[in-house]
């Protein structure tokens, strides 16, 4: 059997747009992904539908998979001839143990690429408005682990060198050791009034910060129960935050949104919400599966005078099915139409002239091409079903983990069908907590959506008369509009 290849990929600090192009390309072709807790699970949406997803996450108090087991699993999957992505939060070479995983592959003679990522020690401060270097605040920067494998977890560092020789220091995962860190830096020469900022979940909308000095930051953190994952940044450069704090000023910063999803395509609404500073959890994850070709419809292909494609995907699926069934495209005599400009463009790219459906005449025998989800819209018209949309159950445990670590404060319901799906596939299956429907603010995109929500007992806080993505962002960003929430 031909050997596979591994890609040891840095997923970046959390914001999915911070992954590298090379890292995203690896995800898109992966057959297996072994992913960590700190790698944003939303990146898994870009994996192929048949990709095997394996959680290797570690929590402070327990390990799901020991490092040795991860190494063995990585080797095993590559030996099976598969393209394997090891997806790690931040940069795999910065406290990411990539050296151990690469060594395990190398000793077995297996091929691998290491794909750097943006490390949280640099990105989290930037999202908090603090560059880690600046000409006016010194010329040195260090990244330091804030705990080690010793019994008490307190790292043995060159404290004097750090205190005197380094202007700005980023400690990783150091909240539990804050008293120890502060005490040693002060003891070895760092002024007690040196500014410190703690940044939890940096680059996410749920990012939290806490500022202080070496003399008081430990007490402040204890008072508010500040926890990991967090970066502790020490240095006078922290004072720049007052001028440069940009991310937390985004209109939807702090919004953690559950967005009900009805399609397999990447949501334009989700993109808009994230661009405005929100964290977005899209539920559920859909995938398309093939269905047996309707031979009776295939036999009548030459008889149709008009063929209407309901989506860009249906265009490719239709022609793939014809080719697999041995049907020469020249047997198709119909004029082509699309339900959207994207569908028309997909036809154009296949070499066909096409029009949008509003320009289609009423006369002539019509065939509608689309997935099983669109069939109900055309009950009295002949339908060529190209695929079936089903929920990808592999993502169920992923959603549960995301919801456990998030504090969803907003639910957006784009349509009546999205309401039905969220309740039947999420709440009733105990993936989405029932309580969330009572504690989160609910935005319905349209009156019919609100009516359906009411039928399921959901108290709708805001109904948008103009149900588009701009209206959703404006509604959530406008503090006055929040008064309209129930």
Beta bridge partners of 280: 257
Q: Which residues contact 450 (CB under 8 A, 6 or more apart)?
A: 444, 460, 463
Q: In the predicted model, is pLDDT for residue 480 greater than 50?
A: no
pLDDT attached to residue 63 = 56
Rounded Cα distance between 152 and 201, Å, is 25
Going by C-alpha positions, the residue among 390, 388, 391, 393 that lies closest to residue 317 is 388
Lowest-pLDDT range, 81-85, 151-155, 160-164? Answer: 151-155
What percentage of the chain has pLDDT greater than the value 90?
Answer: 71
Residue 437 tokens, joined: 């429907």
**pLDDT tens digits for 279-298?**
999 999 988 888 888 888 88
- Which member of 22, 24, 58, 357 is catalytic? 58
Please report which confidence band the pLDDT of residue 62 belongs to, taking 50, 70 and 90 as the band edges: low
Predicted TM-score (pTM) of this structure: 0.85
Please report which confidence band the pLDDT of residue 209 belongs to, taking 50, 70 and 90 as the band edges: very high
Residue 123 tokens, joined: 């990105």
- Rounded to an integer, the average pLDDT of 344-367 is 92
Residue of higher predicted confidence among 127 and 466: 127
Q: In the predicted model, is pLDDT for residue 484 greater than 70?
A: no
Residue 194 tokens, joined: 């040196």
What percentage of the chain has pLDDT greater than the value 70?
Answer: 94
Q: Clarify whether 422 is annotated catalytic.
A: no
Going by C-alpha positions, the residue among 201, 226, 391 that lies closest to residue 212 is 226
- C-alpha dihedral sign at 49, 50, 51, 54: positive
Residue of higher predicted confidence among 482 and 358: 358
pLDDT attached to residue 486 = 34
Rounded Cα distance between 374 and 396, Å, is 25
Q: Clarify whether 279 is annotated catalytic.
A: no
pLDDT attached to residue 482 = 42
* Residue 218 DSSP symbol: H
Q: In the predicted model, is pLDDT for residue 485 greater than 50?
A: no
CB atoms closer than 10 angstroms to residue 452: 21
Residue of higher predicted confidence among 377 and 191: 191
Strand order in the sheet with 366-370: 354-356, 335-338, 306-309, 366-370, 383-385
- Which member of 15, 36, 91, 335 is catalytic? 36
- Rounded to an integer, the average pLDDT of 375-379 is 64
Q: In the predicted model, is pLDDT for residue 151 greater than 80?
A: no
- Rounded to an integer, the average pLDDT of 386-413 is 91
**pLDDT tens digits for 228-251?**
999 999 999 999 999 999 999 999
Written in H, E and C, the secondary structure of 260-322 is: ECCCCCCCHHHHHHHHCCCEEEEECCEEEEECCCCHHHHHCHHHCCEEEECCHHHHHHHHHHH
* Residue 422 DSSP symbol: I
Q: In the predicted model, is pLDDT for residue 143 greater than 50?
A: yes
Rounded Cα distance between 470 and 465, Å, is 12
Please report which confidence band the pLDDT of residue 61 belongs to, taking 50, 70 and 90 as the band edges: low
CB distance 247 to 253 below 8 Å: yes
Q: Clarify whether 24 is annotated catalytic.
A: no
pLDDT attached to residue 444 = 93
Please report which confidence band the pLDDT of residue 58 belongs to, taking 50, 70 and 90 as the band edges: low
Q: What's phi and psi for 356, nearest 5 deg?
A: -75, 155
- Rounded to an integer, the average pLDDT of 210-220 is 97
Rounded Cα distance between 34 and 4, Å, is 15
Q: In the predicted model, is pLDDT for residue 148 greater than 80?
A: no
- Rounded to an integer, the average pLDDT of 367-392 is 82
- Which member of 15, 77, 88, 173 is catalytic? 173
- Give CA separation, 131 vs 120, 123, 175, 190, in Å: 12, 9, 21, 20
- Rounded to an integer, the average pLDDT of 443-466 is 89
CB distance 174 to 154 below 8 Å: no
pLDDT attached to residue 65 = 76
**pLDDT tens digits for 299-351?**
899 999 999 998 888 999 999 999 988 888 889 999 999 988 889 999 999 99
**pLDDT tens digits for 256-281?**
999 998 876 668 899 999 999 999 99
pLDDT attached to residue 405 = 87
pLDDT attached to residue 258 = 96
pLDDT attached to residue 372 = 78
CB distance 36 to 57 below 8 Å: yes
Q: In the predicted model, is pLDDT for residue 378 greater than 70?
A: no
**pLDDT tens digits for 394-403?**
999 999 999 9
- Rounded to an integer, the average pLDDT of 68-73 is 93
**Average pLDDT of the chain to the nearest whole number:** 90
């Amino acid at each position: 059997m031909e050997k596979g290849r591994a890609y040891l990929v840095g997923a970046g600090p959390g914001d999915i747009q911070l992954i590298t192009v090379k890292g995203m390309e690896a995800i898109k072709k992966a057959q297996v992904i072994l992913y960590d807790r700190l790698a944003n699970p939303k990146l898994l949406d870009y994996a192929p539908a048949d990709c095997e997803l394996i959680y290797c996450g570690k929590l402070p108090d327990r390990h799901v998979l020991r490092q040795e087991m991860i190494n063995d699993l990585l080797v095993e999957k590559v030996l099976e001839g598969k393209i394997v992505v090891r997806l790690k939060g931040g940069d795999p070479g910065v406290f990411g143990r990539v050296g151990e995983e690469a060594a395990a592959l190398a000793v077995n003679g297996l091929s691998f690429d290491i794909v750097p990522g943006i490390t949280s020690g640099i990105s989290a401060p930037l999202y908090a408005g603090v560059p880690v270097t600046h000409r006016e605040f010194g010329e040195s920067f260090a990244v330091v682990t804030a705990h080690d494998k010793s019994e008490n977890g307190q790292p043995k560092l060159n404290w004097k060198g750090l205190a005197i020789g380094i202007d700005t220091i980023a400690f990783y995962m150091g909240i539990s050791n804050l008293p120890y860190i502060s005490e040693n830096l002060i003891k070895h020469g760092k002024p007690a009034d040196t500014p410190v900022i703690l940044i939890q979940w940096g680059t996410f909308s749920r990012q939290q910060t806490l500022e202080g000095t070496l003399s008081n930051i430990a007490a402040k953190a204890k008072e508010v129960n500040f926890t990991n994952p967090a970066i502790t940044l020490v240095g006078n450069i922290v004072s720049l935050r007052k001028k440069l704090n940009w991310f937390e000023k985004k209109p939807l910063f702090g919004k953690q949104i559950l967005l009900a999803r009805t399609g397999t395509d990447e949501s334009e609404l989700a993109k808009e919400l994230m661009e405005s500073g929100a964290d977005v959890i899209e539920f559920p994850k859909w995938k398309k599966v093939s269905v047996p070709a309707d031979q009776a419809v295939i036999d009548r292909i030459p008889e149709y005078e008009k063929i209407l494609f309901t989506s860009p995907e249906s265009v490719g699926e239709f022609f793939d099915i014809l080719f697999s069934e041995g049907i020469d495209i020249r047997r198709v005599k119909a004029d082509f139409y699309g339900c959207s400009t994207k569908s028309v463009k997909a036809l154009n790219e296949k070499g066909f002239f096409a029009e949008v459906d509003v320009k289609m005449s009423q006369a002539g025998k019509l065939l509608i091409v689309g997935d099983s989800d669109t069939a109900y819209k055309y009950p009295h018209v002949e339908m060529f079903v190209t695929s079936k949309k089903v929920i990808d159950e592999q993502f169920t445990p992923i959603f549960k983990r995301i919801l456990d670590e998030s504090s969803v404060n907003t639910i957006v319901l784009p349509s009546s069908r999205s309401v039905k799906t969220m309740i039947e596939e999420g709440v009733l299956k105990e993936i989405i907590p029932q309580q969330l429907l009572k504690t989160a603010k609910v935005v319905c995109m349209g009156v019919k959506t609100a009516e359906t929500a009411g039928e399921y007992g959901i108290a709708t806080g805001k109904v948008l008369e103009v149900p588009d993505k701009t209206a959703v962002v404006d509604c959530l960003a406008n503090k006055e509009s929040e008064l309209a929430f129930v």
